[in-house]
Amino acid sequence: MNKILVSGGAGFLGSHLCERLLHENNEVLCIDNLFTGEKKNIVHLFDNPYFEFLRHDVTFPLYVEVDKIYNLACPASPIHYQYDSAQTTKTSVLGAINMLGLAKRTGARILQASTSEVYGDPEIHPQPESYFGNVNPIGVRSCYDEGKRCAETLFFDYYRQYGIDIKVVRIFNTYGPNMNPDDGRVVSNFIVQALKGKDITIYGDGQQTRSFCYVDELVDGLIRMMRSDNGFTGPVNLGNPFEFTILELAEMIIKITGSASTIINKPLPSDDPRQRQPDISLAKDKLEWEPIVKLEDGLKDTIEYFKELIKK
């Protein structure tokens, strides 16, 4: 039985990962400062004797004994990471330093949850891991984009300098149950607006594209990467390669919910990327990973989750 630390474990992705790791007979230490994570996402795990929750901020060192570390801690939606932009950068950078220090002391393998935002507003489409990106280093999104880029730098410096066993994944848009209804992300925004019969807000003309991966499949990719023993460090893209316009997403959600909502357009935010689609050739080759859940099917499950959430 491995003892596995999941930082950001009470968040959207982290809570699903904790549950999956427990089901696979691991001991899980979930740490989270609950800035965007929520206890309700993990409260059903509290009775499991192999699950432990610790309220902790990764910008401070942590001294525990673990075999593996998933470093997911960082607010991931613009509305949250721009709320305290300096702290967002600290979470990515100091969090990486502290978790890498823990891995160095314990000899643990450590996985960094990086992001497709390291590619910025890409000039190459779809985005392969070899692309260095087109990122504005002083924009309103750069606290997150550059924080994650710096975290990747630290991971590879610790790998080269200290021989730390690292894994780096770049996560593209992911959706599913346990999303925060107020996180400002496009899927949760549209679903909540549709279920409440409010206008669905599209920023820009709606022709910007995104690729959406269902959370269970993303978690599977994280675990496959952590378990890979072929000397593969990454970075590797994890995401669904099927591309949709934001307008198509809104129309699909209206159709599934049967909502009477109408679509309205507002100005596009600063530095919002026009295209986002992963090249997952490397994940297919190295991890034998490829998502198969269709967007419409995943949205149905996600909508049911939000229906129950809104009733409460």
pLDDT cut 90: percent of the chain above it: 87
Of the residues 70, 81, 119, 144, which is catalytic? 144
Q: How far apart are CA 195 and CA 253, in angstroms?
A: 9
Q: How far apart are CA 53 and CA 27, in angstroms?
A: 11
First-to-last CA distance in the chain?
Answer: 37
Q: Which whole number is the average pLDDT over 158-176?
A: 97
Average predicted confidence (pLDDT) for the chain = 95
pTM of the prediction?
Answer: 0.94
Is the pLDDT at 311 greater than 90? The verdict is no
pLDDT of amino acid 293: 96
Please answer whether residues 220 and 279 qualify as being in contact, where contact means their C-beta atoms are separated by less than 8 angstroms: no
β-pair partners for 236: 169
The CATH code that applies to domain 3-174+212-241+275-291 is 3.40.50.720
Tokens, residue 208: 């910007």
List pLDDT tens digits, range 228-279. 988 999 999 999 999 999 999 999 999 999 999 999 998 877 666 778 899 9
Is the pLDDT at 169 greater than 70? The verdict is yes
pLDDT of amino acid 204: 86
Q: Which whole number is the average pLDDT over 105-110?
A: 98
Tell me 198's DSSP state. Answer: P
pLDDT of amino acid 312: 67
pLDDT of amino acid 215: 98
List pLDDT tens digits, range 70-104. 999 999 888 888 999 999 999 999 999 999 999 99
Q: Where are the domains of the chain?
A: 3-174+212-241+275-291
Nearest to 118 by CA among 104, 102, 109, 130: 130
Residue 144 parent element (H or E): helix 142-162
Q: How far apart are CA 45 and CA 30, in angstroms?
A: 10
Nearest to 118 by CA among 142, 140, 96: 142
Task: Return all residues near 236 (Cβ < 8 A) that are at least 6 apart.
Answer: 129, 168, 169, 170, 225, 282, 283, 286, 287
Q: How far apart are CA 78 and CA 17, in angstroms?
A: 22
Pairing of strands 51-55, 166-171: unpaired
The one-letter code for the residue type at 75 is P
Give the confidence band of 298 by pLDDT, cuts at 50, 70, 90.
very high
E-strand ranges in 57-212 read: 68-71, 109-115, 166-171, 174-175, 200-203, 209-211
CB atoms within 10 A of CB 162: 12
User: Catalytic residue at 131?
Assistant: no
Measured on CA atoms in the order 13, 17, 20, 22, is the torsion positive or negative?
negative
Is the pLDDT at 227 greater than 90? The verdict is yes
The one-letter code for the residue type at 95 is G
pLDDT of amino acid 42: 98
pLDDT of amino acid 183: 84
Report the Cα 209 to chain-centroid distance in Å. Answer: 18
List pLDDT tens digits, range 174-194. 999 999 988 888 999 999 999
Give the confidence band of 1 by pLDDT, cuts at 50, 70, 90.
confident
pLDDT of amino acid 80: 87
Residue 153 to residues 114, 171, 264, Cα–Cα distance (Å): 11, 16, 40
